[in-house]
Amino acid sequence: MGKVLLREYYELCEGGVCQDLLTEDEKRFVAGGGMILSGIMQKADTQNGNGRVYPMEVLTREVKNYSKLVKERRALGELDHPEDSVINLTKASHMVTAIWMEGKDVKGKIQVLNTPAGQVLQELVKANVNVGISSRGMGSVSENQGGTIVEDDFQLICFDMVSEPSTPGAFMVKEAKDLNSPNIFTKADRINRLLNEVLENE
């Protein structure tokens, strides 16, 4: 089977805030009215809503390659998915500013641009519309024990903002400028949440 366009969907939500992920420059950007989104963008070794599994070694390699575009400030994405592998600059709505692996999760930060498409995205997020984050890439797949495995020739192209999520538990959040907001998740909050989950599972 030849290479095909592979698109995966992850849910973006308006909710808790990961303020500790922001650099000082990003805090100033948000305080000035800008919007930064952060959270899970992809998952390895996990079957998604499209029935596909991205092996850890493949996704790790592609995140490393994509990091080069991030550093060069060329990691752009569109609002809604086009039907091809070309990123249309006139439709760019956001730029990925950081991406990294955390266990099986690909996490990242996204700066919403002040473009026409970016302004639409900002208004959707402000209105608490659940918007998905979706990877777009080229590659071939194979069937293995009832699952669809993405092959080693996969190439990550970009991440787009879409309306249809496919992976449960994969959320992004809007970073807030108000450090006193009750919605801000501090490191202590995260530790308490993890401890509660451990106690509940005993």
User: What are 183-192's pLDDT values in tens digits?
Assistant: 333 444 445 4
- Tell me what the pLDDT averaged over the chain comes to: 79
Beta bridge pairs of residue 148: 52, 143
Q: Is the pLDDT of residue 169 over 70?
A: no
As a whole number of angstroms, the distance between CA 10 and CA 197 comes to 23
Classify burial at 4, counting beta carbons within 10 Å of its beta carbon; exposed 0-12, middle 13-18, buried 19 or more: exposed
pLDDT of residue 16: 35
Q: Is the pLDDT of residue 143 over 80?
A: yes
Sequence spans of domains, the chain: 4-201
| Averaged pLDDT, 146-168 | 82
